[in-house]
Amino acid sequence: MSNIVIKAENISKQYRLGQVGTGTIAHDLNRFWHQIRGKEDPYLKIGEANDRSTKGSSDYVWSLQDINFEIEQGDAVGIIGRNGAGKSTLLKLLSRVTKPTTGKIYTQGRIASLLEVGTGFHPEMTGRENIYLNGAILGMTRKEITRKFDEIVDFSGVERYIDTPVKRYSSGMYVRLAFAVAAHLESEILIVDEVLAVGDAEFQKKCLGKMGDVSKGEGRTILFVSHQMGAISTLCKKCLLLEKGKVINYGKTNSIIEEYLSPSNGQLNNSNSYIAKNTLKSNKNVFFKSIDTFNSRNIITDSFGFNEHIKIKINLSVKNDIKNIILGIGIQDKFNVRVATFMNELSDLNINPISKDNWEVVVELPKEVIAPNSYSFIFALYIYNGEIFDIIENVCPIKIYDTGTIFSKYEGLDYGNIIVKADWKVN
């Protein structure tokens, strides 16, 4: 017997902008007339891809187009992509909230979905009543739900309010109970959109732990949409990357995340430089003009060995004589988590004035400290009272390669972002 629990075959979803259905009786009748004659829907030919950055000329938009994939029992699959990529639409199709325009979806087993805060809850009913309602919708008996009831309430942390109508819950309480219900009731497939953003850090960690238990311990299948790459990396072994309604890639999580996070923001040129736009028209007193990363051989590059220094050359425009300006540099990993911060006052630096309002600063980062991995930078010019003159984020991405560390034999394992040279003593 096949262990495929979800299979998508050429599924597509089309919407008409600003309308429910096709928007007019004429369009609906036209579709019906083509259907009874066994012909193709005439409006399937005229839609455009869902690109939010362009206005477009058609009222019809393909939120998803020709999606194909298979998911096996027990898989934890992350679904990632930029806003408008079609992630939430895909979850709605898999949850049977809406039907695909074309194609078919095959599922085996009961599906519990948490697509947004309050999914499946009746606002006038109490938390207790909603737990039983959700269980009944999944086909569970009252006895089965009662057996899970205390565990659900304990996990959610809303015991004090369990007999209060959920319309009076805060968004945090709502999502706590909704997740607890979806995760604990006996469904074979758990579908979770990024509702965890509502909860606090402790609850998010608790949810990820529970989803890991559900997948690895109970053999249930999980589909998880999130913009938090750390959460995706922690939970999911496989990842589906969507872009403008199409599947770009589907495979191992680490490689898919790297593909998703690869820079494409138009700020970088081929030499890995940041170049400010419209510098002549800028009304800022102090701002970054350009930034380059150099290796130990003074070559502009985005690739560095673990045993070489990283040099950063920064060109600043300083139009007025402003004292106490601080230059701050942050390093962040591929999940946008801050790894380290360096800062100094410009007045304390040996600045080379190229011209009256053009200064050059060179910063050299230590070697054999930042672990082999992918990183990017944040640069800021500010003063201690909180005033920010200029800030740029997610620029100058670099890759540090292992060039013969003691960890080389563990190549492929993630051993963090900082390697510390500790003093070892044996008593």
pLDDT greater at residue 187 or residue 250: 250
Average of per-residue pLDDT values in the chain: 80
Average pLDDT on 300-321 reads: 84
CB-based contact 49:245 (threshold 8 Å): yes
The secondary structure element, H or E, covering residue 208 is helix 201-212
Q: What is the pLDDT of residue 125?
A: 92
Q: What is the pLDDT of residue 1?
A: 42
What are the DSSP calls for 356-397, one per residue? TTEEEEEEEEPSS-BPSSEEEEEEEEE-TTS-EEEEEEEEEE
Report d(CA 372, CA 331) in Å as an integer.
Answer: 13
Q: What is the pLDDT of residue 48?
A: 43
* Coil/strand/helix, residue 47: coil
Q: What is the pLDDT of residue 286?
A: 86
Q: What is the pLDDT of residue 199?
A: 63
Report d(CA 222, CA 215) in Å as an integer.
Answer: 7
Confidence bin at 312 (pLDDT 50/70/90): very high
Report d(CA 265, CA 356) in Å as an integer.
Answer: 31
Average pLDDT on 183-209 reads: 76
Q: What is the pLDDT of residue 200?
A: 67
Confidence bin at 17 (pLDDT 50/70/90): low
CB-based contact 14:60 (threshold 8 Å): yes
Q: Quick check: 111 pLDDT over 90?
A: no
pLDDT greater at residue 409 or residue 183: 183
Closest CA to 27 of 35, 153, 215: 35
Per-residue pLDDT of 123-132, as tens digits, reads 899 999 999 9
Confidence bin at 121 (pLDDT 50/70/90): confident
Does the domain made of 274-410 have the CATH classification 3.90.226.10? no
CB-based contact 238:250 (threshold 8 Å): yes
For the ranges 37-41, 240-244, 409-413, 414-418, the maximum mean pLDDT occurs at 240-244
CB-based contact 127:158 (threshold 8 Å): yes
Report d(CA 70, CA 91) in Å as an integer.
Answer: 14
Q: What is the CA radius of gyration of the chain?
A: 27
- Boundaries of every domain in the chain: 4-261, 274-410
- Tell me the C-alpha to C-alpha distance, in Å, between residue 76 and each of 179, 180, 253, 303: 16, 18, 10, 33
Token code pair at residue 257: 């995340």
Sign, CA torsion 339/345/351/353: positive
Q: What is the pLDDT of residue 96?
A: 86
Confidence bin at 19 (pLDDT 50/70/90): low
Provide φ and ψ at 276, rounded to 5°. Answer: -70, 145
Q: What is the pLDDT of residue 297?
A: 76
Sign, CA torsion 123/124/129/133: negative
Confidence bin at 118 (pLDDT 50/70/90): low
- Tell me the C-alpha to C-alpha distance, in Å, between residue 387 and each of 154, 158, 315, 338: 45, 41, 20, 21
Q: Which fold has domain 4-261?
A: Rossmann fold (3.40.50)
Q: What is the pLDDT of residue 410?
A: 52
Confidence bin at 162 (pLDDT 50/70/90): very high
Q: What is the pLDDT of residue 263?
A: 43
Per-residue pLDDT of 256-308, as tens digits, reads 876 775 544 333 334 466 777 655 545 577 899 999 998 877 888 887 878 78
